[in-house]
Structure 1
Amino acid sequence: MLVDVKTLTGNWDAGYALHKHVLSTTYLGDDEHGHPRFDTVRSEPGEALYKLKYRSDWTQVGPLADQLRQSLLPRFREVGLIVPMPPTVHRVRQPVAEIATQLGRLAELPVFTDLLSKTACVGAPQLKNLTGKDEKAAALAGCFAVKDAIGGNGPWNALLLDDLFDTGASMEAACTALRAYPKIGRIYAATITKT
């Protein structure tokens, strides 16, 4: 899988994505119903992520996890555990949790799928209706909760894993919640792709 590692800027200690999500988009005109059509060329990690999330191609989990292990994990010092970002959309199988679990197997690291949760933010608008990072950050303030799921005293360095990095508002809100948990030391951010 061809990668072009990108830096992720935020309130974590270090962060990276495997590649850009989309390499190019060409407008092809409107279809018979007046809807615009596009030819979208994705990076290899972007195409694998697209197939996983929108075509339920679960064979993409292994290659994506292995690429994270090879290309990103060595960039972080002494990762002690993996924390997948909580899902926004309910699915029977969650792509980020599946990738995190497989990465944990490959790297022999514990994965805490229930450590971080997204709580109901009463009155907050849906993120898809917001465009700027500041608007999204305001809507996400206090929307993540941490469950005391780690045994021992810690602190352990955590790899916070997500699929697609856009503004970073969600990961920053999650990172803020994790920083308040005394069993977490450094926090590293990793995503498959970046917009």
Structure 2
Amino acid sequence: MTIELKGNWKRGFAYDVHTLDSVYMGVDEHGHDSWQTTRSEMGELLYRLKYQGDASVVGQIVDRLGKYKGLETMDAIIPVPSTNKQRKIQPVLAIAQALAKRINVPVLDNVLQKQTGGQELKNVDDPQERQALLKTSLTLNPKANLAGKNILLLDDLYRSGSTLTVATDILYQQAKVKNVFVLVMTKTRSKR
């Protein structure tokens, strides 16, 4: 499945939805809501990489992303930086590096920077609040030289589009790139 993503970028796609179904199971022994979730194939691979630290799935993810024609014409891949710097494996960076190696395009992993210690956006449901947080926490590395370049902006999960919208604005307005193309592994079924 491919899902076209509309935004301030030239073209954007999500490989698949993240979850297929989620059933509320009640409150667990720790007092937290519990869900039984069925993920798409890509959603499960991403979950294993992101939350279980299973780097063996990176190749499988990149195999699926290889179906998109024209990736090799990009001047660079820019992974959206993670808010959670404590993860042993940074999933978006790991996927970007493997994809870049496969299509022979450089990864520029320090172009977009997120302030450390910021609030994780997955805990913020209001799209306007998310965008406001991003505008203060996402910045362009002043040493970036991207004028006139075609950029593939890569992320793991599309929720409301706030992160990609702010990142694209930065790349167009501050870095003066020619075109931004967006590719994400999965998209949530809701925008919350």
* TM-score, normalization by structure 1: 0.85
Secondary structure, in 3 states, of the residue corresponding to 1:9? Answer: coil
Q: Following the alignment from structure 1 to structure 2, what is the Cα–Cα distance between the partners of residues 194 and 75?
A: 21
Partner Cα distance (2:6, 2:76) in 1: 21
Q: Identity, % of aligned pairs? A: 36
Q: Distance in 1 between matches of 2:9 and 2:26?
A: 41
Match of 1:132 in 2: 126
2:111 to 104, 109, 115: 115
Does residue 23 (structure 1) correspond to residue 20 (structure 2)? The answer is yes
CA change 1:39–1:126 in 2 (3 A) is closer
Is the CA contact (8 Å cut-off) linking 2:50 and 2:89 kept in structure 1? Answer: no
C-alpha distance in 2 between matches for 1:105 and 1:76: 12
TM-score, length-scaled by structure 2: 0.86
Q: Which amino acid aligns with 2:24?
A: Y
Q: Does 1:100 align with 2:96?
A: yes
Deviation for aligned residue 1:116 = 1.2
Counterpart in the other structure of 1:164: 157
**Residue identity in the other structure for 2:75:** G
Q: Which runs of 5+ in 2 are unaligned?
A: none
Q: Give me the whole-angstrom Cα distance separating, in 2, the residues matched to 1:163 and 1:45.
A: 10
| CA distances 1:141-174 after superposition (whole Å, capped 9, x unpaired) | 2432222344xx7511000000011111111111
Do structure 1's residue 145 and structure 2's residue 139 form an aligned pair? yes
Report the AA paired with residue 175 of structure 1: T
Q: What is the rounded CA distance, in whole Å, between the counterparts of 2:34 and 2:174 in structure 1? A: 46
Aligned-residue CA RMSD (Å): 2.3
1:193 has 2:182 as partner = no
| Structure-2 separation of matches of 1:77 and 1:104 | 9
Equivalent pairs counted in the alignment come to 186
- Residues 117 and 31 of structure 1, relative CA distance in 2, 3 Å threshold: closer
Cα deviations across residues 99-154 of structure 1 (Å, max 9, x unaligned)?
00000011111110111112369xx865344312122112222432222344xx75
- Paired residue secondary structure (1:141): helix
Structure 1, unpaired ranges of 5+: none
Task: Using the TM superposition, give the Cα deviation of residue 183 of structure 1 relative to its aligned residue in structure 2, in angstroms.
Answer: 5.4
What is residue 78 of structure 1 aligned with on the other side?
A: 73
Q: What is the deviation of 1:176?
A: 1.0
More off after superposition, 13-22 vs 23-32? 23-32
Provide the rounded CA distance (Å) in 2 between the counterparts of 1:157 and 1:185.
6
Q: Hey, what does 1:65 align to over in structure 2?
A: 62
